[in-house]
Every structure is written in structure tokens, then in C-alpha cells.
Amino acid sequence: MSWKHAPYIKDLSKITNPTPASIVAVAEKHFPILAKKTTRSTPGSRFIKTIKEIFATKTTDAKVIEALRTIFPLFQVLFPVVKTLSQRLSDVRKVIKKHQSAEAYQRSQHDDVFNQSSEVRGNIIKKYKKQIREKNKDKIQLDQQMILDKMQDLIQSDNAYDRLVSLMISLGTRPIELFSKNKFSLIPGKPGWVRVDGLAKKRDTQEKTHTTRPVIMFTPAFIIKEVKQIRDHFKNQVVINKSGQLDKHKGSQLNKHAVAAFPFLKKTHQKSSLLRKVYADLSFRLFADPAKQNFNGWISDVLGHGELDLQTSFSYSYVGVIDKSQVKHDDMRAQINELSAQVELLMKRDLPKIVPDIASAPGIGSVNRVELKEQRRREKFAKLDQLYKPGMTNYRLRKLSKLGSRIVNEFLKTKKNEPDREGSNEIVSV
């Protein structure tokens, strides 16, 4: 069986003293399109793209192993930071898992083929554990009643992103799962819980492709109906990009609405994704039996982390939900039931129809984004035109308008090029 990328791998093996430049030079020889890419892209990113492309073509296990052994030293040159190297190796293995045989994928995880040594991996885990312990010394504490009240408010909004924020806390989903990947279904004989299929990050240690988890505040039937409505709202838009990730605009809008509802998220790098940790703590407090289940085990089960991934569950413990009223557990459940009953009454009436905004109108694509950009430009020009006086400097106009230097410069150029209207013979129709 011939493999069209064999000559490329052979030339890579001839590099005696690898440098980023020499590695990319060979790639550009075999993949001319790379040479046309912008110089702003790093050698590492260009190399990764090439390697992913070659392993997306089916070949024999022997050729996969030969290629991996050849390129591993080159990865070490391009990605000298240990943690980054680990992630990039994992990125390539994902492609191998999808396009090559199961045997090739298993061999790709071996230290002598395409992996860092067990000692290095152990040090990465130790460092990660230390970071988590430090985080847990300074927990984020949130008031339970505030969260529940906010969920109730958000689900009644006419904005899809507000509702998504409420649903994320109710279900403990990742943003991409709620927009597209998860499938939710009722569980006979287990009211208040849903089955969740289509986990976005199924790990190799997991045997099951689904999990079951309790729903906070709402009924499972309502959740399923609401998720369908929101997905229908976005069905004519780009939700998942070509890389299989959540569309950048969708993620940005979701973060914006999450921060507006919960300002503490502004200081975190995860923004809306941190709501999954809020669900973790809140669901444990409301549904778990502390005498039979510990926090890490509970989160591992309901969020589908897998039996061997308890360290990930431990990382969730730096977000804590507290009950400032200090009510007992039974009273707390009664309080939740009361709130849920109020929501049930709301659900019997139609919730407000989701209103699309201009930035997320159905069918928005590259053309509409250009139109949107042009509209915003005209709005900024109109604002500048109201403030402008002859002879005004760029600095002065920026200070008054609070707009950027680029748009102000563009506006001033148009003013400079405007014809002198005084004495003009132009006829104006009235």
C-alpha cells in the first residue's frame, strides 16, 4: 500500500539539526500552500496543521508508527514548553484515533513512539494538583438564593443567551454541548433527572458514552422543550466552526450575558464555562446524600468524568455555593420545591418569544457580517459628525467620542476630502 505522504516523512527524517525554520521549509516543499500562509502564523501552528493533514489519510499501522517516531523529536523542538508539547501531541493523537486503526492509536500513546516519558507526565500532574490546591485555598463563594433567583429571571428573558445561561446552571453542560452536541432524554422512574448523550469530552478511560444527572429548578420535560426551541433559533447560523469548536461569536455573546448576570465571572478566564462548576456544587448540595457520596465521586458520576479522572472533579471544588440563611437540608429542599412550583406556573404560560438581535439574526453569514460591520461604522461616523468642529484634532475627537484612533482618523480624512460647499452651484431638491 503506497502512501502519498511517505516522501514528506522521509525528508523530515533527513533533518540532522532541526530548527523551526528547517522543519517548516520541508513542509512548504511538500505542501506549497503553506508558503502562502501569513507570516504571522507560527512555525509550530503551520507544522501541526500539516501533520494533522497527513494522518487524516488512511495508511498502514507500520507507516503511522514510522512517521510518529520521525516527527516526535521535531515536536520537541517546536514546542519546548512541556505542557504545550503534551497538548500538541494529544491534538495529533485525536486525528489518528479518528482516521487510523485502533492499534495505531494505541501505539501512538507509547513513550517510545509519540509520548513524553512517564516521569514528565507525572511532573505535569503534580504541578496541576498544586495549582488546584492553591485555588481551593481561596474559594469562590456564591449565595445559593441569588443563583436560584437569577435562574428564574433569566429563563423568562426574550434573549436566547440569557436563557442559555440559566440552562447551563440547571444542566451542568458545557457551552458547545448545550448549543449542539448533547441529546437530553427523560428517564422512566427517575423524575427530576435526565439522560445526557453526546458528551463533548469523552475520555479514553470512560466506557459509557452518556451520563445521567439531576436538573436544578426546572423539570426535565421543560428543559428538553426549551433546548429544542433555542437550537431552532440558531439553526440557520454557524454554531460549530470548521475545527469542530463553538463559533467564536456565539461563545463571546454567551460570555457577555453570563457576566452581565453574574459579575464575578468577569474576573475569571472561563466566564460562562465556570457555571458548570456552579452546577457541580449546587447539585451536590441539593441532590446528593453526603452519608453515601463524596463530592468528587458525585461530580465524576453526574458530569461523566470517568472513574479514573477524579482529579478533574477535584478541580471543581474551588467554586462553592453557600446558603446564607443557614437553613437545614430539608428546609432547603422545600425552598427549591417552592421556587420550582413558581417556575411551573410560568411554564404553563408561554414564555416570551426569543427576539433575535442584529448580531445573531438567522442566516447571518460572511455577507451579513460585512453589512453589520458597515452599519456600525456608519453609526460611529454619525456620532463623530455630531461632535466634530472644524480644526478639531484627532486627540480631542477621540477624547470626546471615546472611540479608537483608527475610526477617528478615517472620519477626519473624509472631512478633509469633503468639497467646499460654500458657493457651490449644486441644486438641492426639496
- Cell for 310? 477524579
In a domain, 269, yes or no: yes
Alpha-carbon span 109 to 191, nearest angstrom: 42
- Whether residues 79 and 167 share a domain: the answer is no
190 inside domain: yes
The answer as to whether 359 is a domain residue is: no
**Same domain? 210 vs 337:** yes
Q: Which residues does the chain have with pLDDT short of 70?
A: 1-2, 34-41, 125, 128-139, 201-208, 306-320, 322-352, 356-372, 418-430
pLDDT of residue 245: 85
84 close to 62: Cβ distance less than 8 angstroms: no
* Integer angstrom CA distances of residue 348 from 156, 194, 226, 286: 12, 21, 13, 25
Let me know whether 282 and 178 are in one domain: yes
* Counted domains in the chain: 3
For residue 27, the model assigns a pLDDT of 85
What's the pLDDT at 175? 93
User: Do the Cβ atoms of 210 and 304 come closer than 8 Å?
Assistant: yes
Q: What is the pLDDT of residues 77-95, one digit of tens each?
A: 998 888 888 888 989 999 9
Has residue 319 been placed in a domain? yes
Question: How much is the pLDDT for 331?
Answer: 58
Residue 178 lies inside a defined structural domain of this protein: yes
Judge if 103 and 198 occupy the same domain: no
Residue environment code for 150-184, b if the CB has 16+ CB neighbours within 10 A, otherwise e: bbbebbebebbbbbbbbbbbbbbbbbbbbbbbbeb
DSSP-based three-state secondary structure for 143: strand
Report DSSP state, residue 419: -
pLDDT score, position 366: 42
Is the domain of 85 the same as that of 214?
A: no
Say yes or no: 291 and 405 in one domain.
Answer: no
In a domain, 426, yes or no: no
Give the side-chain half-sphere CA count within 13 A for 250: 25
Range of the domain at 79: 6-116
Task: Check residue 14 and report its DSSP letter.
Answer: T
0.85 exceeded by the pTM? no
Of 116, 149, 165, which one is at a domain's C-terminal end?
A: 116
316/245 same-domain check: yes
Supply the pLDDT for residue 367: 44
Asked whether residue 430 is assigned to any structural domain, the reply reads no
In a domain, 105, yes or no: yes
Do 156 and 293 lie in a common domain? yes
